[in-house]
Amino acid sequence: MAIIALIVFNKMTTKRGNFNSYAEVKKGLFEITVINSGELIAERSIDIKGPEISMGSDRGGGPGRGFDMHAMDLKVQDIVPEGTLVKEGDYIAQLDRSSYANTLKDELENLKTFQTNVDMKILDTAVVLTDQRDAIKNQRYAVEEAAITLEQSKFEPPATIRQAAINLDKAKRTLEQKIKGYSLYVAQSLADLNHQKMHLTRETRLVNNLQEFLSKFTITAPASGMIIYKKDRNGTKRKAGSTINPFDRVIATLPDLSSMISKVYVNEIEISKVKPGQRVSINVDAFRGKSYTGAVLTVANIGEQLPNSDSKMFEVDIKIDGSDPALRPTMTTGNRIIIKTINDAVFIPTECVQTGSDSIPFVYGKNKTKDIVILGESNEKNIIVEKGLEPGSLIYLTPPVNPEKFKLVGENLVSIIKKHK
């Protein structure tokens, strides 16, 4: 019994080994395509940005006291989860205030110092000017006294009269000097006070700007929508702990979900085939069995070196026809860009084609023939047969057993194939 069972098993195995699968030569519409995966983005969106930093040039205080806020990055301390639905004015994110809060504290101390300096300058000037006005008033009395003395000495000896006249002249010149000194001090004091007030004004403006700047560290929604995190050029999403620089202040976006784009990257070998306007068949990984249509919107002129890619990749934006509220940014897409359409083409699966040492292509027919074929354009699965096969015939998907027993057909095509090589 064991021997009989072994014989039966061997016969079944032999039959399985001789099993061959076939493909039918088809005729019909043939599409040449470029296939790439991509990601959904909104065609239009509102950027949610951090505060604009533009305060480095507007301050006083002399050299060495300024700071350049343009060079400082901002850190995202907290942000709502991606995909959150928000209304206009809702909380979005909080930026780290620590560095700038310390700066504000220092500037408030500076402002206090400037205010004190102005107050002291006003007080000191008032005291000095009061003393000088009193001195001028007393000197006027001295002039009057000298004039009276001169008037009363008219009956005195000439020498006494002359001395009285000299004293009056001295008193008048002293009065003039005090009046002139007062005017000069007033002018100098006003200049110094204006200079101090200028510093105070600039420092006040700086503090106000800092306070306004820090008030914008709490980010709110500029409109209603769904929060989508901003991606850096390397594909990293900006989230809590990320930093944003002054030249790219976008933290997140609010996409317009009514118009979606499938963004794909096509390698430099195939990009020359892709043109704006070409139709595209699109699948979304999240919705198995559901397909969309679209058209190539834009093709980048300059390639990029993307991570994990040895060749340059070119960005291609594909606009999806119509709208579907189920579509969301960042969903993964499969994109089949239709490069060329050929009607009534005869085509077969690419794996059916074999070649010998002479590089002449052929296929194995089910009727035990080895058919030489002239091939045309191909897509990701099939290839056009220009001559050598008839639609509806069956051919081997893989080389058959004992292929040497197959009859060679189409030798007359060899010369044509070699001529066009």
Closest to 146 in 3D by CA, of 162, 177, 167, 160: 167
Report if residue 163 sits inside a domain: yes
Report if residue 13 sits inside a domain: no
User: Over the range 239-265, which residues count as b (16 or more CB within 10 Å of their CB) and which as e?
Assistant: beebebebeebebbbbbebeebbbbbb
The 3-state secondary structure of 160-185, one letter per residue = HHHHHHHHHHHHHHHHHHHHHHHHHH
**H or E segment to which residue 313 belongs:** strand 313-320
Q: What would the mean pLDDT of 274-290 be, rounded to a whole number?
A: 94
User: Of 293, 314, 341, at which residue does a domain stop?
Assistant: 341
Contact 198, 205 (CB under 8 A): no
Report if residue 401 sits inside a domain: yes
From the number of C-beta atoms within 10 Å of its C-beta (0-12, 13-18, 19+), residue 132 rates as: middle
Do 88 and 120 fall within a single domain?
A: no
* Parallel, antiparallel or unpaired: strands 407-409 and 369-372: parallel
DSSP state of 52: P
What is the Cα–Cα distance from 299 to 275, expressed in whole angstroms?
7
Do 133 and 185 fall within a single domain?
A: yes
Three-class secondary structure of residue 16 per DSSP:
helix
135-146 pLDDT per residue, tens: 999 999 999 999
Does residue 353 carry a pLDDT above 90?
Answer: yes
* Parallel, antiparallel or unpaired: strands 218-220 and 85-86: unpaired
Q: Which domain CATH number covers 370?
A: 2.40.420.20
Provide the domain count of the chain.
4
Do 85 and 232 fall within a single domain?
A: yes
Do 89 and 222 fall within a single domain?
A: yes
Gyration radius (Cα) of the chain, Å: 46
Report if residue 15 sits inside a domain: no
What is the Cα–Cα distance from 112 to 110, expressed in whole angstroms?
5
Do 101 and 139 fall within a single domain?
A: yes
Query: Distances from the Cα of 7 to the Cαs of 1, 17, 19, in angstroms?
Result: 10, 15, 19
Band (9; pLDDT cuts 50, 70, 90): very low
376-404 pLDDT per residue, tens: 999 989 999 999 999 999 999 999 999 99
107-130 pLDDT per residue, tens: 999 999 999 999 999 999 999 999
What is the Cα–Cα distance from 379 to 273, expressed in whole angstroms?
13
Residues 398, 404, 406, 409, CA torsion sign: positive
User: Of 318, 341, 364, at which residue does a domain stop?
Assistant: 341
Report if residue 9 sits inside a domain: no
Q: Which domain CATH number covers 308?
A: 2.40.30.170
Contact 338, 294 (CB under 8 A): no
Q: Which domain CATH number covers 177?
A: 1.10.287
What one-character-per-residue DSSP string does 343-389 give?
A: EEEEEEEGGG-EE-TT--EEEEETTTEEEE-EEEEE-SSEEEEEES-
Do 230 and 278 fall within a single domain?
A: no
Band (236; pLDDT cuts 50, 70, 90): confident
Q: What would the mean pLDDT of 56-76 be, rounded to a whole number?
A: 53
What is the Cα–Cα distance from 231 to 45, expressed in whole angstroms?
14
What is the Cα–Cα distance from 232 to 63, expressed in whole angstroms?
37
Report if residue 4 sits inside a domain: no
Contacts of 307 (CB under 8 A, 6+ apart): 234, 235
Do 126 and 210 fall within a single domain?
A: yes
Which two three-digit tokens encode residue 242?
Answer: 């990320």
Do 239 and 183 fall within a single domain?
A: no
Do 242 and 269 fall within a single domain?
A: no
User: Of 195, 216, 237, at which residue does a domain stop?
Assistant: 216
DSSP state of 64: T
Do 88 and 224 fall within a single domain?
A: yes
Contact 267, 300 (CB under 8 A): no
Q: What would the mean pLDDT of 281-306 be, rounded to a whole number?
A: 93
What is the Cα–Cα distance from 404 to 407, expressed in whole angstroms?
8
Report if residue 62 sits inside a domain: no
Band (2; pLDDT cuts 50, 70, 90): very low
User: Over the range 335-352, which residues count as b (16 or more CB within 10 Å of their CB) and which as e?
Assistant: bbbbbeeeeebbbbbeeb
Do 409 and 311 fall within a single domain?
A: no
Do 88 and 195 fall within a single domain?
A: no
Domain membership of residue 79 as a residue range: 47-55+72-95+217-255
Q: What is the pLDDT of residue 6?
A: 35
Does residue 173 carry a pLDDT above 50?
Answer: yes
295-330 pLDDT per residue, tens: 999 999 998 888 777 789 999 999 999 999 899 888
Band (272; pLDDT cuts 50, 70, 90): very high
Q: What would the mean pLDDT of 325-351 be, rounded to a whole number?
A: 93
181-220 pLDDT per residue, tens: 999 999 999 999 999 999 999 999 989 988 888 888 999 9
Which two three-digit tokens encode residue 195?
Answer: 């200079």
